[in-house]
Amino acid sequence: MTATTEAVIETRGLGKRYGRRQALSDCTLSAPAGRVVGLVGPNGAGKSTLLQLACGMLTPTSGSIEVLGERPGSNPAQIARIGFVAQDTPTYAALSIADHLRLGARLNPRWDAELAERRIRQLGLDPAQRAGRLSGGQRAQVALTVAVAKRPDLLLLDEPVAALDPLARRAFLQSLMEFVAETEATVVLSSHLVSDLERVCDHLIVLAASRVQAVGDIDDLLANHFRITTTRRDAATLPAGMQVVQADHTDRQSTFVVRAEAAVDDPSWAMEPLALEDLVLSYMTQGGDAHRPVLEVQR
């Protein structure tokens, strides 16, 4: 898959409010084209809201968003370039799998019937079977098939594997990677399961408390974050240039998660790299601090 720096989703100060509840606040980010972007955060962080804004199902309360260079949902041609699988991987219970494919063909001008039929055969599904009689994993695969057969330039997936068992999750993610390898489409995959994102994604957006907490290529994020364990000390005494993401203290010991350009050799502490899950959890823990600067790491 060829990486590029062109952005497929660009937001500036994007916000969405439902009545008195702020679902997304001051969201500024750039999602690169030709990548598999992981969108991670706890339930209620704003992941679904961001994806629904990106596909034009919602309109912003504040700020702006451009998708594929245009306002989301601005015209049929742009809508045809976006595939979307919602959180409950919706299918029509009374319709057969074949009915879903026929409906997809009628509604989508770029429909790839050969791709859709081949995927159904590879999955071992009976086209005559009604969706209401399928397992959760099978319904998710049908929804993914309909989305990818649109031949989208951008595929948005809103926690499509959240309710699936581990085997069904693995099969779904494998199908996703096969689609990416074949089409070089950009994918934004929302999840609160870091292990799934680590398996398939190369770029990451961390949302917590309705705000963007960190953005960047996963390799760069991991290269620039460390855990420091030392005798109890104040964060202000750490070397200049270290951004403290999380700090925990006991009577005798301090543990910091920091962003730094490189590891610092100091005999007074132990400094080690972070696993991706630890990095994400650190930003989630600190997500309520609205005054802390957003981390952005990009090549």
The tokens describing 45, both together, are 């962080």
pLDDT in tens, 2-56: 444 589 999 999 999 999 899 999 999 999 999 999 999 888 889 999 999 999 9
- pLDDT at res. 5: 54
**CB environment 62-92: b (16+ within 10 A), e (fewer):** ebebbbbeeebbeeeebbbbbbbbbbebebe
Residue 297 has pLDDT above 60, yes or no: no
**Residue 140 and residue 172 in contact, taking contact as beta carbons nearer than 8 Å:** yes
Looking at residues 180-205, what average pLDDT do you find? 91
Looking at residues 213-237, what average pLDDT do you find? 94
* pLDDT band per the 50, 70, 90 thresholds, residue 287: low
- pLDDT at res. 4: 45
Domains and CATH numbers, the chain: 7-218 (3.40.50.300), 220-297 (3.30.70)
- pLDDT at res. 227: 96
For residue 23, CA distances in Å to 14, 68, 194, 286 come to 11, 23, 22, 17
Looking at residues 121-150, what average pLDDT do you find? 94
pLDDT in tens, 45-87: 899 999 999 999 999 999 999 999 999 989 999 999 999 998 8
